[in-house]
Amino acid sequence: MKLANKVAVVTGGARGIGRGIAERFNAEGCRVMIGDIDADGATATAKAIGEGCAALTTDVSTQAGAQSLVDAAVERFGRLDICVNNAAIVRLGLLLDLSEADFDAVMAVNIKGAFLTGQAAARQMVAQGGGGAIINLSSVNAIVAIPNQTAYTVSKGAIHQLTRSMAVQLARHGIRANAIGPGLIDTELNQDVWSDDPDGYGRLMARTPLGRAGEPGEIAAVAAFLASDDASYVTGETIYADGGRLALNLTLGPEERGS
């Protein structure tokens, strides 16, 4: 098992990609502390994963909330080796219409939360010695923009530079920092969106050469690699797991999609 005897925190681990990462890490022998603002969801996920997984209700957009997650992992499992900053929210709005409150809310969770949790985790890793790994969840929207997701795309662009900054500063402590940029992933949230906008789903598939949405487990597999010794010489990088979406310049027609 790639992550045997390791301890990780996973923010936003109650569902979706975060849950997939927690499940994969646990299957690889890692003990996992899930942090999520959804108390019932986090508790249910930890219970479903079983032994070696626990949950804490916390708000990582605050320093106290981020620190409490790290402290809980250390108290429960004795140390901390891996930090996954997955928690994120979306507030829809065009540039000319987006409210200050919605912009601030997205930044507080998506980028400030990653900074605060990563900072608290890195301090713990430095104090205990032995290095570690930080994995930030970015998005293809760090590169391409969706008009009505102004704040979200800005926050994911910031994750790119936060990851690089972490990598160059923490390398001397043996701590690696990388990011994952998912494309369209089949999560509960996206399923709700697709049910209301089947045409939108079709347009996204026309921009995805593999012709399907990704699964949370496929992102979790990338996270497991980045957290493991297999990635011992990888730091400051963002891996885009997007079905080829960023590589495509034009929309695929029916013949090219094989439909």
Instruction: Report pTM.
Output: 0.94
Give CA–CA dist 141/110, Å, rounded. Answer: 13
- With beta carbons less than 8 A apart as the criterion, state whether 211 and 258 touch: yes
Tens of each residue's pLDDT in the chain, 259 residues: 899 999 999 999 999 999 999 999 999 999 999 999 999 999 999 999 999 999 999 999 999 999 999 999 999 999 999 999 999 999 989 999 999 999 999 999 999 999 999 999 999 999 999 999 999 999 999 999 888 889 999 999 999 999 999 999 999 999 999 999 999 999 887 776 666 677 778 888 889 999 999 999 999 999 999 999 999 999 999 999 999 999 998 776 665 555 5
Neighbours of 168 (CB within 10 A): 11
Kindly state the tokens that stand for 124: 């713990």
Which domains are assigned to the chain? 7-186+215-242 (3.40.50.720)
CB-based contacts of 42, cutoff 8 Å, min separation 6: 13, 14, 34, 35, 36, 55, 56, 57
Give CA–CA dist 25/183, Å, rounded. Answer: 21
**pLDDT at res. 258:** 53
SS3 91: coil
Annotated catalytic residues are 152
**pLDDT at res. 253:** 63
- Phi first, then psi: give them for residue 62, nearest 5 degrees: -115, 150
Kindly state the tokens that stand for 99: 């409210």
**pLDDT at res. 249:** 84
Based on its alpha-carbon atoms, the radius of gyration of the chain, rounded to whole angstroms, reads 18
43, 50, 41, 1: which is closest to 23 by C-alpha?
Answer: 50
SS3 181: strand
253: left (phi over 0), alpha (psi -120 to 50) or beta: beta
**pLDDT at res. 256:** 55
CB-based contacts of 63, cutoff 8 Å, min separation 6: 116, 120
